[in-house]
Amino acid sequence: MQNTSKETKTVIPVKTFEKPDYKRIYNDIITLKYPGKREKCEQILKKTDISVLDVIALNKIIFETKDQEALSLNQQHRSYDKKSISEILEYQKKQNFTNLQLSAHFKISRTTIARWKKLYEEN
């Protein structure tokens, strides 16, 4: 007997993750906990699209962490999207920074910067 049933493959759609609504998140944080810092953050919060670099700037303004352990932990858990990486590499070109200077400015490892250059500047 021949098996006449056809195998069907189930196609699983790829999930695209949307970026968190940083504008709303930081507006709520400022309104509820740090209303005195609204003026300092206003320029960033007026933007229509808040980038990862803007989020880092807002964190510095709002939380002003002096604790070295907290700074280290926050640094380990940063992630950058392609747009932010492009901004950082463009900043390097405009300022004529070396990888060492750029890594000190943004607190990113030189290895990471070199890897970004290899990945994104070849394309």
Residue 3 token pair: 């098996």
Whether the predicted pLDDT of 29 surpasses 60: yes
With a threshold of 0.85, does the pTM exceed it? Answer: no
Q: In which element (H, E) is residue 83 found? A: helix 82-95
List the chain domain ranges.
Answer: 19-79, 80-123
Place of tokens 């604790």: 67
Secondary structure of 65-78 as H, E, C letters: CCCHHHHHHHHHCC
Residue 111 token pair: 């290895």
What is the distance of C-alpha 44 from the center of its chain?
15
List the helix and strand counts (H, then E) for the chain.
Answer: 7, 0
End-to-end CA distance of the chain: 55
- Residue-wise pLDDT for 33-79, tens only, equals 999 999 999 999 999 888 888 888 888 888 876 656 666 666 666 77
80: CB partners within 8 A, 6+ apart? 52, 88
For residue 74, the model assigns a pLDDT of 64
